[in-house]
Amino acid sequence: MRRFFEFGSGQEYELETADETPDQSSDLESRQLLSLMEEKIATLPHSLREPFVLVTFDERSQAETAALLGISEKAVESRIYRARNKLRDAAKNFEG
């Protein structure tokens, strides 16, 4: 994006500013990655998906999630960690 400014001396100066709008290719890539993540979350084993969704999207605490699922807080923490690693690997494969 270019803007032109005229100062008191009558000279015109060009000032380039960054275009703040995202380009179509990065927008498309973001949508594709989001779609991939939705698919990967849906294919996580139930034992990993359930605590991951409760803590990440439902914003429940790990203690609350543990009580709901009848498992220890350490198990919730471990399952969320494993779910995130699987999703991270999927994102790396998408990028690379």
Using 70 as the pLDDT threshold, list the residues of the chain that sit under it. Answer: 1-23, 95-96
Collapse the DSSP code of 21 into the 3-class scheme (helix H, G, I; strand E, B; otherwise coil) and give the result.
coil
Q: How far is CA 54 from CA 10, 59, 88, in A?
A: 63, 6, 18
What's the rounded Cα separation, in Å, for the pair 41 and 74?
21
- Does the pTM surpass 0.95? The reply is no
